[in-house]
Amino acid sequence: MYDQLYIDGEWQTATRGARLGVFNPASGALIRQVAAAGAEDIDKAVAAARRAFDEGPWPRLSGKARAACLRAMAGIMRERQLGLALLEVEDNGKPLPEAQWDVEDAIGCFDYYADLAEGLDTEALPIALPDDRFRCRVVREPMGVAGLIIPWNYPFLMAAWKVAPALAAGCTCVLKPSELTPLGALELAAIADAAGLPAGALNVVTGLGNEAGAPLSGHPGVDKLSFTGSVPTGRAIMQAGAQDIKNVSLELGGKSAFIVFDDSDIDAAVEWTLFGIFWNQGQVCSATSRLLVQEGVYDRLIERLIDATRRIRIGDGRLEGVQLGPLVSAGQYEKVMQAIERGRREGATLACGGRRPDHLPQGWFVEPTIFVDTPTESALWTEEIFGPVLAVRRFGDEQEAVRLANDSRYGLAAAVMSADPERCRRVSRALRAGIVWVNCSQPTFTQAPWGGYKQSGIGRELGTWGLDNYLETKQITEYTSESEWGWYLKHPS
């Protein structure tokens, strides 16, 4: 299964027979080889999805029938939950408890969109018109073939975030996972097959971005593109989609700020700061990687934060008690280490971490790292690193904190911590970000919208907004009595 593509309800060998290696981040060892799709395979997958949408049963089923299939997929995931989580650890490197939560969230995502799919059966919004000779209603219909491109940081969960709402809406899909972490997407294909999803409704193609992702983005048979990943790739996908005026949604990078005021609970601030930057090794688009601390609490908070950071247990994600696993790949390891070295050169003060742990000579491990007194012009402060690296600055008052937080080309998320509820509300509204957390960082719920401002993307995922991504809105207006034009045609004189 792992060395094949899933197209039109069948496991197929890539046209060219090419393969890609998949490596365990904790050891660097080759663990699998997967098919490397090319443009010919993308053509086949899109054709299968196109045929399934234009001629097949999936978009014509009731929402209730589609919901039953989504719930069947969720049920199979529950049966295979531990195996899916262990595969995620092997594929991505994250600690097992985190992988287990990811799989639980993916199951919940399918259940949630099953409920929303049922709601589509009764949705027909009547519109009040000024002319009572006409009757108007609005219906929502599936958009068509959806090209879904997902990243490597949450392989199985990101697949669920896109596939579940797309299928719930009645779309057919071509899913392209990251070449670094393709195994969860292939498992999802096997789950869809076992659940009886009609052929062509979900197709999974593994391969490189330039060989599989680019042909999918520019394919004329695709109606909708949904991408999660980096800004440069998102820009290229948007340009490709523009050729055919495709509907495009993008969830891109972030450099999110966490503002801690001096009336905050120190212990809570330390705990949420750690969670906000070191969860998933900092490989999180919404990671609160810029910490702004008010002067009155700065010294005490930083002292405790550094002490807690040094006590984080690093190692293979399969081992009990591990809190920080390896980075996903050799390439990501090099990128993060280069960012750390550049931060030193640009004047930031390294407070802790910044190197490979002595006891882990294999794999792609980086100590959790904190820089203080980070210059605002430093790349540490302005650029997404996507690793366990925190940049810290102090601030004087609320106005300065908001200004520093908003001074970014990104606007995915932000967090504010204070004992003053009114200040939290005020700052939350002032922050230019699509997600704002108050007295916490990173909680994510399927029911709430996810997406950002500025270069952090276009559109929203999750909640009802996630379903809307894959639906077209149609006006149907009926003539109910003779119009003035009808009378004139009968009585031209």
Catalytic residue numbers read: 251
Paired sense of beta strands 471-479 and 134-142, if any: antiparallel
On whether the CB atoms of residues 14 and 35 are closer than 8 A, the answer is yes
CA atoms within 13 A on the CB side of 100: 6
| Per-position b or e across 381-408, b if 16+ CB within 10 A of its CB | bbbbbbbbbbbbbbbeebeebbebbbeb
Name the β-bridge partners of 15: none
CA atoms within 13 A on the CB side of 419: 6
Residues recorded for the chain: 493
Full DSSP string of 155-184: HHHHHHHHHHHHHHHT-EEEEE--TTS-HH
Contacts of 488 (CB under 8 A, 6+ apart): none
Helix (H, G, I), strand (E, B) or coil at 415: strand
Best CA proximity match to 152, nearest among 190, 102, 77: 102
Contacts of 33 (CB under 8 A, 6+ apart): 2, 3, 19, 20, 21, 22
What torsion do the CA atoms of 279, 282, 284, 286 make, to the nearest 10 degrees?
Answer: 90
Q: Which two tokens stand for residue 233?
A: 């790739």
On whether the CB atoms of residues 218 and 240 are closer than 8 A, the answer is yes
CA dihedral (20, 385, 251, 328) positive or negative = positive
On whether the CB atoms of residues 342 and 310 are closer than 8 A, the answer is no
Best CA proximity match to 180, nearest among 28, 22, 303: 22
